[in-house]
């Protein structure tokens, strides 16, 4: 059966734009935190690994998860012309090995938490790629000489899951420089995506698959700065909300078009998470290297300034 044509609401308050989306002069700040593989695998088994009945499976590897804060000053669709909108995002990247029957294992990342302040970005990301996007407000340093060296993602949380609990808009995730107050100057240490991946590989050591105990060289698994991301795309059924009227696994890959600068972030950093039952980030991602209640040491911090594009995704599995 042929798929129906998508009915656009352009001129009528369009909320989900046609891809690709082109982003200019984005600043990406990455913070790697040590992770308990058993806890992450439990999270994977309760989500991605429930989908296909074993035809496609995902195993955590590497011993680290990545928290990324991104500022995109100019994001627009070149195919459905509306205008451009800046956005701020905070994402968590979980490295996984995808195993599909009849195919070689492949590297993927998974983004279980993503906060964004753009309405178009939120709806398009959920509708098309299947990202678990939530509305949030991010604070990312722009004046490097004067702004505090703090990266903050704030959103609505629920301390306990109960009908009597009122939501609270709070700082959920904070990354803070601990040795001084500002970032000051960013030094461009790397000139290509291979240099970036090599630095990450050197800083974090071997990437070990916790299920198979296989050791991987990250550079041999990744061909560029962006590793394809797998998402669970699903929509609740309109009559029985415990069922999905649509469910699929989608590959998404951001494509860097121009690298403008990249390097390690100067100084030392610490990540803190506000505990709550609605966003169990510490447990889900198995955050370790605890330096205090809700506080974790950052193993490696880096920045990338770039242009990139987000093309349409690729469906790798769909429920029949």
Which CATH number belongs to the domain containing residue 112 in this structure? 2.40.400.10
Distance between CA atoms of 57 and 103, rounded to whole angstroms?
12
User: Using CA atoms in the order 129, 56, 214, 280, what is the torsion angle rounded to 10 degrees?
Assistant: 50
Tell me the residue length of the chain.
Answer: 320
Q: Tell me how far apart the alpha carbons of residues 52 and 60 are, in angstroms, rounded to a whole number.
A: 17
Which pLDDT score, from 0 to 100, does residue 88 have? 98
Q: Looking at the chain, which runs of residues are DSSP E strands?
A: 21-34, 56-60, 64-76, 85-100, 106-110, 114-116, 133-135, 137-139, 150-157, 168-177, 207-208, 215-216, 229-236, 244-252, 255-264, 269-273, 290-292, 295-297, 300-310, 314-318
Number of domains the chain contains: 1
Question: Is 219 contained in some domain?
Answer: yes
* Residue 217: φ, ψ to 5°: -90, 115
Q: What is the pLDDT of residue 287?
A: 97
Within 13 Å, how many C-alpha atoms sit on residue 34's CB side? Answer: 11
Domain that holds residue 235: 21-318
**Predicted local confidence at residue 231, as pLDDT:** 96
The answer to whether residue 56 sits within a structural domain is yes
Find the DSSP H helices in the chain. 37-45, 119-124, 193-204, 218-221, 281-284
pLDDT at position 313: 95
**What does the alpha-carbon distance between residue 278 and residue 80 come to, in Å, rounded to a whole number?**
35
pLDDT confidence of residue 223: 36
Residue 7 lies in a domain: no
Residues (pLDDT < 50) of the chain are 210-211, 217-225
pLDDT at residue 207, as a whole number: 55
Q: Output b/e per residue, 190-221; b: 16+ Cβ within 10 A.
A: beebeebbebbbeebeebbbbbeeeebebeeb
Tell me, yes or no, whether 41 lies in a domain: yes
In a domain, 159, yes or no: yes
Q: Say if residues 48 and 232 touch (Cβ distance below 8 Å).
A: yes
- Specify the pTM: 0.93
How far apart CA 237 and CA 244 sit, in angstroms, is 5
Token code pair at residue 136: 């949030």
Q: Is residue 14 part of a domain?
A: no
Class of residue 294 by CB neighbours under 10 A (exposed 0-12, middle 13-18, buried 19+): middle
Inside any domain, residue 16:
no
Give the per-residue pLDDT at 202: 77
Residue 188 domain-assigned? yes
Residue 32 forms beta bridges with which residues?
A: 66, 300
pLDDT tens per residue, range 232-270 = 999 999 999 999 999 999 999 888 999 999 999 999 999
- Read off the pLDDT of residues 18-55 as tens digits, 9 standing for 90 and up: 999 999 999 999 999 999 999 999 999 999 999 999 99
94, 176 contact by CB (below 8 A): no
């Amino acid at each position: 059966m042929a798929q129906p044509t998508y009915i656009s609401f352009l001129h009528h308050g369009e909320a989900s734009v046609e891809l690709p989306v082109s982003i200019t002069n984005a600043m990406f700040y990455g913070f790697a935190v040590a992770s308990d593989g058993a806890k992450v695998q439990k999270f994977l088994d309760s989500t991605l690994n429930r989908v296909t009945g074993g035809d496609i499976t995902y195993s955590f590897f590497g011993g680290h998860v990545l928290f990324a804060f991104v500022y995109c000053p100019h994001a627009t669709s070149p195919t459905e012309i509306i205008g451009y909108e800046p956005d701020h995002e905070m994402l968590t990247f979980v490295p996984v090995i995808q195993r599909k029957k009849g195919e070689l294992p492949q590297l993927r990342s998974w983004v279980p938490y993503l906060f964004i302040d753009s309405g178009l970005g939120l709806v398009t990301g959920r509708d098309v790629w299947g990202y678990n996007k939530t509305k949030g407000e991010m604070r990312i340093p722009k004046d490097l000489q004067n702004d505090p060296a703090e990266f903050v993602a704030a959103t609505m949380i629920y301390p306990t899951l109960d009908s009597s609990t009122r939501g609270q808009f709070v700082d959920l995730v904070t990354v803070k420089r601990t040795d001084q107050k500002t970032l000051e100057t960013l030094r461009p240490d790397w000139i290509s995506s291979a240099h970036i991946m090599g630095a990450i590989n050197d800083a974090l050591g071997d990437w070990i698959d916790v299920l198979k105990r296989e050791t991987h060289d990250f550079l041999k698994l990744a061909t560029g700065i962006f590793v394809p991301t797998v998402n669970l795309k699903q929509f609740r059924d309109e009559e029985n909300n415990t069922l999905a009227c649509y469910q699929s696994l989608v590959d998404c890959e951001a494509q860097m078009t121009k690298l403008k600068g990249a390097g390690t972030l100067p100084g030392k950093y610490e990540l803190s998470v506000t505990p709550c039952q609605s966003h169990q980030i510490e447990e889900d991602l198995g955050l370790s290297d605890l330096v205090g209640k809700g506080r974790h040491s950052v193993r490696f911090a880096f920045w990338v300034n770039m242009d990139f594009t987000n093309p349409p995704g690729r469906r790798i599995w769909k429920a029949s």
